Amino acid sequence: MWTGLKPNFSHLRVFGCKAFAHIPKVSRQKWDPKAKELIFVGYCPETKGYRLLNPETYKITRSRDVTFFEEFENPEQKENDEVDDEENETSVVGTVTYLQPPDDETDDEIDSRADNETDHEEDEEVTEEDTSDTSYKIPTRDFDSEYAPEREEDSEEDSSDNERLEPADDTEPRSPAPENAPAMPRRSTRVPKPIKMNDFITYLSLGRSATDPETAEEALERPDRELWAKAIEEEKKSLIENHTWTLTPLPEGKKVLDTKWVFKTKRNASGEVERYKARLVARGCKQTHGIDYIETYSPVIRYTSIRFLCALAVKYDLRMHQMDVVTAYLHGDLDEEIYARPPKELLDPGQQEKVWKLNKAIYGLKQSGRSWNRKLDRTLKELQLNPSKADPCIYFRRQKGKILLGVYVDDIILLANDDQLLRDTKRKLAEKFKMKDLGEVRNLLGLRVTRDKQQGKIWLDQQAYIEEILKRFNMKGCKLVLTSADPNQKLSKEQNSTTNTEAIEIKGSVPYKEAVGCFIHASQGTRPDISYAVNMVSRFSNNPEKAYWVAVKRICRYLKGTSKLKLEFSKEGNSTIHDYGDADWANESIDRRSITGSLFKLQGGPISWQSKKQSTVALSTTEAEYMALSATCQEALWLRTLARELDPEATKSGTVIY
């Protein structure tokens, strides 16, 4: 109307249709799929591209290189349509008519056409004379059933049906049609199929409650915008207090990194939201090695060390507290010269042409973790806390009382045998960094810590995390099993009975890698009982098949019945490190390598375990046992080195291996 040019609607797509986002070569291997099946849910507000929902992870991704299948219908809808086609009647319920673009264009062509409005003059004129060929059914895919992991045959089925919107009755009086009017199609006398709206409802529920916002604009438009606005202000305050940048014009020849806001809700061990976090991060993916950064390695405390500290806490009745460093990375000093483009929320009028010269390692830089760890290491050494040789993330001091610290990035565990010593250490740390005192440890790296000082016991569990896994993979209603793996079934590559096409379909339709990754975290935290089963299914992550997916679901079924299991450390337990180890022999039908299994205990609770395939083929059961003994002794030596520094009494006698 204003320009005299027809607008181009060729980039519009059917909401909820199937979309295949192209996977770049750098992000896939030779035989991996070249595209990922997603669901179209909208358009990117800031950049040219599409917003796509991953039905496996329920996360929104962005992509410009997308192939759409707007005519896709699920098997249920297709079957219903075939029944309708048998009756030669015209049904007008559940259809939508829309205009197709004048020709098939790629996404890049659409973007270029949007940039140059003069190209619109060459568009063909679209009329509505005949739209019978462009009338399609609304995609009514059942979101839960199509993309959810398939259940076992004996699993319970959901009793609830998807909500449907019934068509309203047409009760208004109609005027008589003219005598020369063309005959209208006869309305079907059958009850019309209701339109499923679960695609749209699911998207709204995900976009407004279950997912975190992607941009500052989106965060400030949500119902909880006040909490997100408060988080943004806290991040701004931290950036300013730490003198993170120096505002300057960009020097000639220097590269500038973009920045963006990242929003995340932090939950406690019960799964409840306890904090809204906003972080300003740099796009470190654009950094160049050797120019913008050199080394990036930064250590974190091992899970074995955490369980070892819990055993010491019950043995010596140590106070066990936790502190959190506020915006930890902003304390790390930068050695490289790096420039970043500030967000508009942190720029004053008239400063749009200036950039930040970073003084501190903000989040997103490749060297941020290392810079922070070096700063913390220097600070703790100044407080006369010495790092352990076995685990450099454990610091200790035995003079003038016993104090132990465990460090995982910005989470610090403090153990002390004296209240005054604990308070003094907290005060000294607060003088160096802005700290948050969380009191006694209750939730540590996803592990729930429960303590009874009267009984002298500590329990560790991951019940909330396991329930989240079951909910994520739609297995909350599954039946229970007694073991994590089927003793009568051995998974191997020999079971590869599917074709390459079927394997690719299985790989793209089930969240195999995501499920295995969740199991690995659980098995490393508090669940040694699933280590063997997780070890088996993790071998086939790059080429999953139906039998392997059944094994994955069996782990879910086992976890559901055992989600409340806990590791228990007791003051009355054995105070010396001891181990239980074993090995099978040539159990693998392909390479005939054996499996080593071991579990170390201290104070009555497991502190270290493993289930691992041996590196070479054992020629006999004796050789397999010796190879398992060798691997077990390596772990025993490491544990004794750690105990020699933190608890010398635990190494007065030898480590017994059963």
The mean per-residue pLDDT over the stretch 353-376 comes to 92
Residue 194: C-alpha distances to residues 49, 93, 181, 200, 512 (Å): 32, 8, 30, 15, 34
- Over residues 378-387, the pLDDT tens digits come to 999 999 999 9
Please give the average per-residue pLDDT across 513-521, as a whole number: 93
pLDDT at site 508:
63
Rounded-to-5 percentages of helix, strand, coil across the chain? 35, 25, 45
Kindly report the average pLDDT of the chain as a whole number. 78
Query: Where is 68: in which H helix or E strand?
Result: strand 66-69
pLDDT digits (tens, 9 = 90+) for 250-295: 998 889 999 999 998 887 766 678 888 888 999 999 888 988 899 9
Model pLDDT, residue 135: 33
**What is the mean pLDDT of the segment spanning 232-243?**
89
Is residue 552 pLDDT above 90, yes or no? yes
Tell me what the mean pLDDT of segment 41-53 comes to. 87
Pair 243, 356: CB distance under 8 Å: no
Q: What is the pLDDT of residues 602-630, one digit of tens each?
A: 999 999 999 998 989 999 999 999 999 99
The predicted pLDDT at position 215 comes to: 86
Residue 262 token pair: 């990242």
- Look at phi and psi of residue 474 and say left if phi exceeds 0, alpha if psi is from -120 to 50, else beta: left
What's the pLDDT at 98? 37
Q: Does 159 have pLDDT greater than 90?
A: no
> Cα dist. 38→74, 138, 515, 553, 610 in Å?
14, 17, 18, 23, 37
For residue 113, pLDDT over 80 is answered with: no
Could you tell me the maximum CA-CA distance found in the chain, to the nearest angstrom? Answer: 108
Q: Residues 222-232: pLDDT tens digits?
A: 888 889 989 98
pLDDT in tens, 446-474: 899 999 999 999 999 999 999 999 999 99
* pTM, 2 dp: 0.65
Q: How confident is the model at residue 1 (pLDDT cuts 50, 70, 90)?
A: low
d(CA 306, CA 407): 10
Sign of CA dihedral 411, 416, 431, 395: negative
Q: Which two three-digit tokens encode residue 5?
A: 């040019």
Q: Is the pLDDT of residue 400 over 80?
A: no
The DSSP letter of residue 101 is: P
Distances (CA, A) of 152 to 413, 474, 479, 527, 550: 42, 12, 9, 23, 7
> Residue 368's CB: how many other CB atoms inside 10 A?
24
DSSP code at position 210: I
256 in helix, strand or coil? Answer: strand
Q: Is the pLDDT of residue 596 over 50?
A: yes
pLDDT digits (tens, 9 = 90+) for 417-449: 989 999 999 999 999 999 999 999 999 888 999
Contact call for residues 40 and 16 (beta carbons, < 8 A) = yes
Mean pLDDT within 199-210: 41
Instruction: Quote the pLDDT of residue 75.
Output: 44
> For strand 339-340 and strand 256-257, is the pairing parallel, antiparallel, or unpaired?
parallel
pLDDT-derived band of residue 160, with 50, 70 and 90 as boundaries? very low
What is the distance between the alpha carbons of residues 43 and 45, in angstroms, rounded to a whole number?
6
Give residues with Cβ within 8 angstroms of 547, minimum separation 6. Answer: 489, 491, 495
- Residue pair 459/567 in contact (Cβ under 8 Å)? The answer is yes
pLDDT band at 566 (very low <50, low <70, confident <90, very high): very high
